Chain A
């Protein structure tokens, strides 16, 4: 399909503001009379506030106001409270103070005299599962936002004794599903691997800390916040503040990184709104520090697990039995651990499978989705095991993966407990095309060879994340000057998906891109209700909404054409921003049609809209009514099956056996995205995801001091996200040719997450290759692990120890 706009490299309208410093983020908000708010954060992982004495704080010059937990209507999930007297993690905000300057606010915080009673805390989930182990919060130790009620589960002493030190005890779990005949398939297998594993938690550490500002005016609260999504963030923000979504004016034109941690609103975003309300609507700025961003910014869930995989002689995965204990943080958390089941089922298509999982509460930062939550941890655990299996079976690691990988467009591919179908899949093709582009066969010849202290090795990675939704709304408008305004609720987290999905409306209408304006950035843009920018979904979901809106607009244009020039809509077509008679040559411009639409009103100009639209979309259409031809439409196209984002990656490394240092010689990422919307944008994502993947696999740490339960990685220099010098200068980014998703009008699906898991798992796969098939079963793999292994020394951690590296 030859597109005019889709598939071209366009200059995003907001990029100049980024290079000139004109782009405004949440902390750039300024207003007369603005006060500054600072938080008092819990120094203890689990505590009870016994007494707060504010007398000295109030006397600090510049003090303006204080907000305590009792003054707020708290969410029922106390571990995720906005402010709390029962902190459940180090850094949880207890109270807030506003003052005329940030320095004064900080002075006042220091002048607060607070008495805290320390309580038992949990850093290691297994500790909490022990018969007399502590609970992270009072009353229970197990919960998860998806399908696991708050409860207490303790395993028996026998469970622990049977497992010993290096195997995962496997007690009672709340999630347990299976398909196929597991026992029979294991019997059929010629090779069975059974390994315990640990995958570390990981802080998002987006570069922009989640500062926020708020003021009240005319009964509405105005909030400047940092969020990945625009329309999707509004209802959650409203709920935290305790108002209706229509009473919130959210401003979020730029978001300095989210990676899942800012997918929608979060508790601290509401604090300035509460303080402002208390101060009579006065503007309040809450600048978040890096440490506060670490505490409140969520983190990827850690895993302690065990997996048993049965292989046929040809490398086919016959049986897979997975058991995952998740470090859930102190709140409802996220369902990473459940995604282990989905990811392993789709990538390897096991003939029989069992999945068991248990989310355990801990007193560490609340866990939230991070790029490929669960799926990328899964890839990091399983891909090196595939290399190990390939060696033991005497087959090529690529051949083993090709034996199992879903492809051919997705027919017959299944996913998850219910073995649901998928809309498309080309992972096999990604491996084949990627191997060719990377010259895998040539490089493999030297893989594992040692020259001096250097060992070269080639690795392969794969990953999955669901990548599409349906049923959301689009909204476009042609003003009397003939300009197309594409209203979008897609946030601006740095992927430019707001532009790449909006272009579909322009494509449908045959518009010149230079005559299109994207209206975005928050409530004032009059947004349609869009799904949020997470879960790799945007490129699928909002191409559908823009297709729907563009199509609805086209129908209205044709109808107006027939009303002006006679006949019916069927007598006309659109071309060059005109409505043209199919025979006879009569035409009117889109500009004239827009003027006519205003005259006609009703369904032509936003006064009457589809009842099925979301209230947000209806309100936006109403606000725009009478300004031109207004077309609001719901994506009612059917959607059956899971939309799978899939990616493969190839890497060549050089491992130094003496220092444990790993240098990346070359990298190639190849996602299955169907139709490519924005080539340069895709390349930026593939490379950026690889950088983050290498960090996840090897560089980034998550360490808690077990005695006091305090984190040692609040700062960037400790957590250590990768810098220019940690990654190769140049990385190859390609994509599967000939792929398309039939359930998307332009054949596209999203990609942001599996490209990270493919990179991190490829890296780990290469290390396994370099080390003759040895798997650490622990992520991140750091230099001392490599050195200890090569020198036959014991690792510096216990097998299932967590938060220690």
Chain B
């Protein structure tokens, strides 16, 4: 093993050594000749579905969704101009007002994370599939990755940073600590938001109601039962 001269010999069968870029096998670059199964021209490599960026670009220009097969290597870019128009907006986040100029195609998650320094809201998929970006808008949980900031004028937005009040943890947060809810912690802000919102809507949910309410928050570590126990602890204690 060339990685580190200090590496002990007592590593077991399953021990992992990182690939050594200097020593791992090095094939020659591919030649031009094609043999075996021949694939289509570069044209055929376009995906058939609408790219998200093209959709967002469409939103910018006309406020109307433009269906387009424009794609990465297209020589005919979508009709929409690449330049986005900025909108001046006043956002109300955790009770504080913020006056911002944002591109009309910017998502709320991006605004929170990159303009307002509120990095507690996470991006797990940016596609409304995982719930890591969950915030509360009005009295409803929403995926901030799929919410346009420019549409948020007049809305009351709450993020994870606004849940603890004056340094005091919300009962949900304390319960998650007590029940060891978070493992890696990446889904945790979203779980907290969903749990807080649920209990504001229904102070006495059943176990199945909790599971349903939080089912929009994926946890790859599989900590579901511990989050569930946390919520039920608040329910019983309340």
Contacts and interface: CB of A to CB of B under 8 A. Distances in A.
A28 B225 CA distance: 28
B169 interface: yes
B220 A205 contact: yes
A145 B24 CA distance: 7
B73 A114 contact: yes
A150 interface: yes
Contact of B220 (A137, A240, A257, A470): A257
B18 A263 contact: yes
Contacts of A529: 6
Scoring A16, A255, A375 by chain B CB atoms within 10 A of each residue's CB, the highest score goes to A16
Contacts of B12: 466-469, 535, 537, 642-643
A79 B110 CA distance: 33
B141 interface: no
A139 interface: yes
B173 A120 contact: no
A20 B168 CA distance: 10
Contact of B25 (A21, A28, A150): A150
Nearest to B128: A717
Contacts of B234: none
A347 to B, nearest CB: 14
Contacts of A239: 20-22
B54 to A, nearest CB: 9
Nearest to B225: A687
B218 interface: yes
B195 to A, nearest CB: 10
Interface stretch (B26-34, B146-154, B197-205): B26-34
A646 to B, nearest CB: 13
B146 to A, nearest CB: 13
Contacts of B39: 44, 118, 120-121, 707-709
B30 A86 contact: yes
Interface in A43-89: 43-44, 46-48, 60-61, 74-80, 85-86
Nearest to A691: B222
Nearest to A495: B183
Contact of B16 (A44, A535, A727): A535
Interface string B181-209: 11111111100100000000000000110
Contacts of B182: 15, 18-19, 494
A48 B32 contact: yes
Contacts of B84: 103
B25 A208 contact: no
Contact of A729 (B3, B83, B164, B228): B228
Contact of A139 (B28, B180, B217): B28
A44 B41 CA distance: 11
B93 interface: no
Contacts of B222: 687-692, 722, 727
A534 interface: yes
Contact of A208 (B10, B36, B186): B186
Given A77-B21, A78-B29, A134 B36 contact: yes
Interface string A203-238: 001111100000000000000000000000001100
B35 interface: yes
A464 to B, nearest CB: 9
The dominant DSSP class at the A interface is loop
Nearest to A117: B32
Given A28-B119, A208-B186, A470-B8, A19 B192 contact: yes
B14 interface: yes
Interface string B209-229: 001101101111111111010
Nearest to B12: A466
Interface residues of B, number: 106
Interface in B111-132: 113-114, 117-127, 129-130, 132
A240 B21 contact: yes
Interface string A679-701: 01101100111111000000000
A466 B21 contact: no
A26 to B, nearest CB: 11
Contacts of B192: 19
Given A207-B130, A639-B10, A137 B30 contact: yes
A235 B53 CA distance: 37
B221 A688 contact: yes
B14 A11 contact: no
B159 interface: yes
B138 interface: no
B32 A137 contact: no
A472 B161 contact: no
Contacts of A16: 169, 173, 177
A472 B21 contact: no
Contact of A339 (B14, B26, B113, B114): B14
B55 to A, nearest CB: 13
Interface string B41-61: 110111100000100000000
A532 B16 contact: yes
Interface stretch (A105-113, A172-180, A515-523): A105-113
Given A134-B35, A143-B25, A468-B12, A46 B30 contact: yes
A20 B163 contact: yes
Given A107-B82, A494-B182, A120 B124 contact: no
A44 B45 contact: yes
A723 interface: yes
Contact of B34 (A109, A119, A465, A715): A119
Contacts of A132: 35-36
Contacts of B217: 724
A259 B77 contact: no
A115 interface: yes
A20 to B, nearest CB: 6
Given A75-B21, A332-B19, A681 B180 contact: yes
A27 B145 CA distance: 15
A259 B219 CA distance: 13
Contacts of A20: 120, 160-161, 163-164, 169, 173
Given A120-B35, A138-B31, A27 B53 contact: no
A74 B75 CA distance: 31
B50 to A, nearest CB: 14
B13 A339 contact: yes
Contacts of B176: 19
A665 interface: no
A362 B140 CA distance: 46
A438 interface: no
B72 interface: yes
Contacts of A76: 21-26
B124 A290 contact: yes
A180 B65 CA distance: 69
Nearest to A120: B36
Given A471-B10, A639-B10, 14 more contacts: A15-B182, A23-B185, A43-B45, A76-B23, A77-B25, A113-B73, A134-B35, A207-B218, A342-B13, A373-B14, A468-B12, A471-B9, A532-B16, A535-B16
Interface of A: 9, 11-12, 14-25, 27-28, 30, 40, 43-44, 46-48, 60-61, 74-80, 85-86, 102-103, 106-107, 109-110, 113-121, 132-134, 137-140, 143, 145, 149-150, 205-209, 235-236, 239-240, 254-257, 259, 263-265, 287, 289-290, 331-332, 334, 339, 342, 369, 373, 375, 415-416, 465-472, 492-496, 529, 531-532, 534-537, 614-615, 639, 642-643, 680-681, 683-684, 687-692, 707-710, 715-717, 721-725, 727, 729-731
25 contacts: A11-B177, A16-B173, A27-B113, A43-B45, A103-B105, A113-B73, A119-B30, A143-B25, A145-B19, A205-B220, A207-B124, A239-B21, A254-B184, A254-B186, A257-B184, A287-B123, A290-B129, A334-B16, A466-B14, A469-B8, A687-B222, A722-B222, A723-B224, A724-B212, A724-B228
The 6 residue pairs across chains A and B that have the minimum distance between CB atoms: A21-B120, A75-B21, A691-B222, A471-B8, A256-B186, A494-B184
